[in-house]
Structure 1
């Protein structure tokens, strides 16, 4: 997948029998996903325009261009949708797209490498960085707050973190 695209949602399968899909939006304003079309599959081989038809539990029902049957909609279950970065709003200096954080090296405040960001999770209480650290049996999980992560330098490809003592 091209790095100039950002994952903005996923298809949960068919909704009804007329080709609508269940859509989960990862956008800060969930309904904004429709404005970022065309939306692409991860491999970039297919693109869709999108029209939200209604809100449903945990997302939206939506129509995708070229999808007309329940079977076609079900075949897309689990497919993530990506928007061109140029279609997305610019972020303030202290906000980041998760995709920009993944792969950054993480150093402590003394300059010692802690590891590399493998994923960014959010289970409802704020973002958590999952850091892969060679030699550790489990991933290091750090809250993505200014206190714990005072510096994110996308240009240098690094994060400076001040992890609590028990996580080091």
Structure 2
């Protein structure tokens, strides 16, 4: 399946209990909505799962996945990322983006100088951060993904215009 047509909506962080339930992290805006997008597939597309949320637990849910019946089967799925077809997900407002759409975009400053390329989108609790890799460098810079620091995201042209805080890209 074309990667641009699939969105990572969650990940399995291991077994929960002894009856084949898994610890499921949801990456959806409404965490419980992850089950609505099933069947979910593994990253390589070789496995497909129906999802039944059992109960909330710390940092996610205890969940049952189709064809997973034992703790050992659940343990084998630790680290598996789960994907849903884009067409099953809701349309986003104009000022919201799926992380997968931002990764790989070129980042320019307001004067037109290329600052780098978005490598990942991270969130450590407060707000999203764009990890930008400078051209010809292995180093990265974490750019706050706020309207002030990133006034323009143009998916059609594959570019972001950034107005980063003073000095942020000086060492990149």
Q: Same fold (TM over 0.5)?
A: yes
Query: For the residues of structure 1 that align with 2:67 and 2:142, how far apart are their CA atoms?
Result: 41
Q: Which residue of 2 aligns with 1:138?
A: 139
Q: TM-score, normalised by structure 1?
A: 0.96
1:85 matched to which residue of 2? Answer: 86
Q: Which residue in the other structure is 1:98 paired with? A: 99
Query: Structure 2: any 5+ residue segments left out of the alignment?
Result: none
**DSSP 3-state at the match of 1:31:** helix
Q: Does the CA contact (< 8 Å) of 2:117 and 2:135 recur in 1?
A: no
Residue 68 of structure 2 is aligned to residue 52 of structure 1: no
Q: 2:76 maps to what in 1? A: 75
Q: Tell me the TM-score normalized by structure 2.
A: 0.94
Provide the C-alpha distance between the structure 1 equivalents of 2:59 and 2:141, rounded to a whole number of angstroms. 29
Q: What is the aligned partner in structure 2 of residue 15 from structure 1?
A: 16
Moved over 4 A (4+): none
Q: Which runs of 5+ in 1 are unaligned?
A: none
Shift of 1:138: 2.5
* Distance (Å, rounded) in 2 between the aligned partners of 1:93 and 1:49: 31
Q: Secondary structure at the match of 1:166?
A: coil
* Cα separation, partners in 2 of 1:137 and 1:167, compared to 1, 3 Å: farther
Provide the residue aligned with 2:44 in structure 1: 43
- Matching of residue 117 in structure 1 with residue 118 in structure 2: yes
RMSD over equivalenced CA pairs, Å? 1.1
Deviation at 1:73, TM superposition (A): 0.6
